[in-house]
A = this chain, B = another copy of it.
């Protein structure tokens, strides 16, 4: 089947990332979507700059409206940001019968009701996974994954810039201004950071999440919004002493009198997972009446995390637009005729790190024997713990953490180690993963 044709509007961070991810993962994306997804035209006000991002092959239009309404195109991806121009282009694409994918939270928070009504009237889809929490599939989770629940509340760290600033303030005891400067240095805050630090960006996202969670229209103007500019390092420290951490949360809650929508700095108990989300990462906690609390964590911004969400929307729209009704999403994610025959590795070939605990006689030379055996197998030691023997006890526990090696090397080393007269009983071996 022929590839579905897509117009990409914007070749900035998100647009460039989307172009790159689509190209790099083309083969897997096609196996999942059931047909190729091809950017056939790029809309960019500065075609020369755009050319450096998308390479020499694809057509570039400096008139974005022309790209958005190109007759060959079935999906328009809007990644130019801002509100007025984006609104015109999205509405024009919808009027021309195109499906739309956008990452534009400000656009949806302010003009979503108008845009969704137009899409509904035209029978086209508007997908916006990238508009909230970057690469975390939180829109899909709320809209589809938790559809059996009455959603009770949502609490999210949905602005990476302010979370980074709060992490810096807490970890380094910095005042707000210094932490903001650090965020600017790292490219996490813009020259004018007010949308982020005043909570407006989080309020945009919260109004989108609230609409989906509670089945209400977009109501950005009703979100109570308070940013982090008034926080002091002292307050973060006092909160810590009391067992809490301060985060900028977007909170939406259903209560008997109505719906709360509010963005403000919030003390939360330190032991909650979400209290431990640091730096620019995002996380959204959702409480449903059936499922209880669920948490979704990941990168909330950046070229490729945003692209991850944009491409997922492209795959969704392609599947819905294309496939026969009963088989929109393949059972095993990939089309049944394109499953791979990749071999499964035997455990002996797996490479990981190891925790080894040995009971040894408390006498000189034991450790030398053990480390020599490990060295002979090219297994290097990352950390070492020797416990003092109890009084009168002639046995000691030795614990070693190794660097990565293949399981068969460790198996062989353990056999040699257990054969030493000074090693008592069997070694305990537990695998170790850094998960990074």
Give the B-binding residues of A (Cβ under 8 A).
17, 21-22, 24-25, 28-29, 31-33, 116-117, 119-120, 123-126, 129, 134-137, 140-150, 155, 211-219, 222, 224, 230-232, 234-235, 238-239, 241-242, 244, 246, 249, 251, 254-255, 257-262, 264-269, 272-274, 276-277, 283, 285, 288-299, 304-305, 307-312, 314-316, 320-321, 324-334, 336, 338-347, 349-351, 355, 357, 383, 385, 387, 397, 399, 401, 428, 430-436
- B129 & A224 in contact (Cβ 8 Å cutoff): no
Which of B297, B309, B324 interacts with A273 by CB under 8 Å? B297
> A31 vs B212: C-alpha distance in the bound complex, in angstroms?
12
Find chain B residues with CB under 8 A from A24 CB.
150, 289
The minimal Cβ–Cβ distance linking A275 to chain B, given in whole angstroms, is 8
17 intermolecular pairs with C-beta atoms under 8 Å apart:
A32-B215, A137-B144, A137-B146, A148-B308, A148-B309, A214-B342, A224-B346, A235-B357, A238-B399, A244-B355, A258-B344, A259-B345, A260-B344, A268-B435, A274-B435, A285-B435, A293-B435
Distance of A291 Cα from B133 Cα, bound (Å): 11
Q: How far is the CA of A254 from the CA of B272 in the complex (A)?
A: 32
Asked whether A32 lies within 8 Å of B308 as measured between CB atoms, the reply is: no
Smallest CB-CB A-B distances: 3 pairs: A137-B145, A148-B311, A294-B298
- B342 and A147 contact, CB distance less than 8 A: no
Q: Is the CB of B144 within 8 A of A262?
A: no
Closest Cβ of chain B to A317, distance in Å, is: 10
- Copies of this chain assembled into the complex: 2
Interface SS of chain A: helix, strand, loop or mixed?
A: mixed
Contact (Cβ within 8 A) A267 B432: yes
Are A297 and B299 CB-contacts (below 8 A) given A147-B312, A212-B333, A214-B342?
no
Also in contact, A147 and B29, with CB within 8 A (given A21-B290, A155-B435, A242-B383): yes
- Complex Cα distance A146/B144, Å? 14
Q: Which residues of chain B come closer than 8 Å to A432, judged between CB atoms? A: 244, 266-268
Residues of B contacting A283 in the complex (Cβ-Cβ under 8 angstroms): 295
Q: A268 to chain B: closest CB distance in Å?
A: 6
Cβ B345 vs Cβ A401 within 8 A: no
With both beta carbons as reference points, the residue of chain B lying nearest to A326 in the complex is identified as B123
CA–CA, A142 and B255, complex, Å: 33
User: Which residues of the partner chain B approach A217 to less than 8 Å between Cβ atoms?
Assistant: 332, 339
Whether B145 pairs with A260 at a CB distance below 8 angstroms is no
Contacts of A140 in B (CB 8 A): 137, 140-141, 144-145
In the complex, the answer to whether A215 meets B332 with C-beta atoms within 8 Å is yes
Whether B320 pairs with A325 at a CB distance below 8 angstroms is yes
Which residues of B have CB within 8 Å of A214? 340, 342
Tell me which residues across on chain B come within 8 A of A355, comparing CB atoms: 235, 238-239, 242, 244, 267
Whether the pair A262, B435 counts as a contact (CB closer than 8 A) is no
Q: Are B433 and A251 closer than 8 Å at their CB atoms?
A: yes
Rounded to whole angstroms, the CA-CA distance of A277 and B150 in the bound complex is: 25
Instruction: Kindly state the separation between the CA atoms of A115 and B253 in the bound complex, as whole angstroms.
Output: 41
Q: How far is the CB of A193 from chain B (nearest CB, A)?
A: 21
Chain B residues whose CB sits within 8 angstroms of the CB of A238 once the complex forms? 355, 357, 385, 387, 397, 399
Q: How far is the CA of A124 from the CA of B327 in the complex (A)?
A: 7
Contact, CB under 8 Å: A135 / B294: yes
Q: Does B434 lie within 8 Å of A269, measured CB to CB?
A: yes
Q: Is the CB of A119 within 8 A of B33?
A: no
Most buried by B among A29, A289, A310, A430: A430
Query: Which residue of chain B has its CB nearest to the CB of A222?
Result: B344
- Max chain B C-beta neighbours (<10 A), residue from A126, A294, A330: A294
Q: Is the CB–CB distance between A125 and B326 below 8 Å?
A: yes
Which residue on chain B has the smallest CB distance to residue A135?
Answer: B291
Q: How near does chain B come to A331, taking the closest CB pair, in angstroms?
A: 5
With a cutoff of 8 Å between Cβ atoms, the chain B residues found around residue A241 in the complex are 385
Contacts of A387 in B (CB 8 A): 238
Contact of A296 with B299 in the complex, beta carbons under 8 Å: no
CA distance A339 to B215 in the complex (A): 5
